[in-house]
Amino acid sequence: MKNVLTLVAVLLSSVWTLAFEYDLRAICKNPQANELFVGGEFNTILVIDEQTGNEIRRFATTFDCIDLQFSQDGKTLLAAASDYVYLLNPETGEQTAKVKAAGARLFENAPYFIDADWIFTKAVKVYSSNDGSQQFVYTPEYRPLDAGFNADYTELIVLGKEEEIKGEKKLIQTKIEEADGYNVYNKAYVDQQADDKGAGFTVIDMGSKQVKLDVKIPYATAKSYGLSISKFGDNYYVAAWDIFIKIDKAGNAFPLETNEATFAYAVNSTFDSKHIVVASTRSGYVYDCSSEQFISFDCSDGGGFAYSTDITELNGTTYMLNKDYSICQLNDKGMVKKTIQICNELSGKIAVYYRNGYSKKEDRDKEAAIINNLLTAKGQTAVDLENQSSDYVQIGIFENVRIAQEYVKALDDAGLNYAVSIAPINE
């Protein structure tokens, strides 16, 4: 997370290959029980004990899960997929409603969820989290990238996609100079200060439905991995992949910098919006909006490299989901309270999947030999990689995550070159 060129190279080279077909993607806390809900690209939602990591139950879905949250009344589980938000019974997984939403944005125990559609309707639609009914539609002059709320949900905050703007230099309040070394925030700010591009930024009062603030800001971001829009005091905050912007009540934008900047794979603001948590590889920082301080944290504990994928918070505890099936629990000061592994006990099984990128048969055969030697040693059926219709081939079924991870490590130690993923299965 320091200014280390090696880490930067790894991150940049990995950004296009991180989203494997069976990845973990989402986590949320049940406000009425000692349960964490975990979903991903595997048509299954896991319900686990937040203290032990043991699986309590799981249910199958007909969709891959991008995000998870509970409704304000705690009775409905919201699950966002690529084109719909599904309203589910959290005990059984039974679907009670679904809402068309290609740009869904969910919030912890909130009265609303959002669809920010920059492709078709170019509008921001606000829905009730309790029943999915549409509450409000705002159509800006620009294409909306994303949207959020202030802490009490009285203001809708809309951020636009990158666009050409006039007089960009006049909008720059703080000129950022190029720093030594590689700092992702610094580089993004320096680049964007001279590109004649920016984004629209609008605040709407949810009571009157009137626009309170409508400005252009000289910085823009893409919707990749983590993005958070929030408000604390009189200031608004946009935390994204490689920028962190404060926008005051007059619409002036101020870039925030830290020497320990990190690519934002997962971002979220706390329930009171006072703290913003940014994570990359089981490490990151907490920004305290009140003191304007960056507080670093590190949950890796020598456990190896793993990308963070989602962050949620409830009752003062932040839960950070990582791709290695670990969940880190932190307080609002970035202190690690505990880390649990989703592996101890499962009500179902875990499968390991392999994606072969080799074009030559002799290379594929070498990979197949490594896989099948280990499968045979574990008493499992060998696989024929040449007769699989899918890019991802199931190459083993195991009793829990720990055993599956041991198998994955053994494959790596034996020289397997192409990536594998693990995911729960419903038999």
73-82, 106-115, 342-351, 412-421: which range is least confident on average?
342-351
pLDDT confidence of residue 260: 83
| Contact call for residues 337 and 318 (beta carbons, < 8 A) | no
Contacts of 291 (CB under 8 A, 6+ apart): none
Segment 327-386, tens digit of pLDDT: 999 998 889 999 999 976 777 789 999 987 788 888 888 999 999 999 999 888 888 887
pLDDT value, residue 220: 94
The reported pTM is 0.91
Of all residues in the chain, the percent with pLDDT exceeding 70 is 93
Read out DSSP for 327-352? Answer: EEEE-TTS-EEEEEETTS--SSEEEE
Q: Averaged over 395-402, what is the pLDDT?
A: 90
Q: Residue 80's pLDDT band (boundaries 50, 70, 90)?
A: very high
pLDDT at 20: 61
Distance from first CA to last CA of the chain, Å, rounded? 40
Residues 6+ apart with CB under 8 A from 33: none
- Whether 17 has a pLDDT exceeding 60, the answer reads no
Summarize pLDDT for 212-257 with one digit per residue, the tens.
999 999 999 987 788 999 999 999 999 999 999 999 999 999 999 9
DSSP string, 35-47: EEEEEETTSEEEE
Q: What is the structure's pLDDT at 6?
A: 32
Q: Is the pLDDT of residue 38 over 90?
A: yes
Q: Does the pLDDT at position 54 exceed 50?
A: yes
pLDDT of residue 11: 33
pLDDT band at 390 (very low <50, low <70, confident <90, very high): low
Token digits of residue 67? 């995000």
pLDDT at 384: 83
Helix or strand holding residue 149 (H, E):
strand 144-149
Hey, what domains does the chain have and what are their CATH numbers? 5-341 (2.130.10.10), 349-425 (3.30.1390)
Q: Which H or E run contains 370?
A: helix 361-377
Own/partner long-range contacts of 16-22 (Cβ < 8 Å, ≥24 apart): 17/419, 18/265, 18/307, 20/355, 20/392, 20/419, 20/421, 21/353, 21/355, 21/391, 21/392, 21/421, 22/353, 22/392, 22/421, 22/422, 22/423
| Amino acid 361: pLDDT | 85
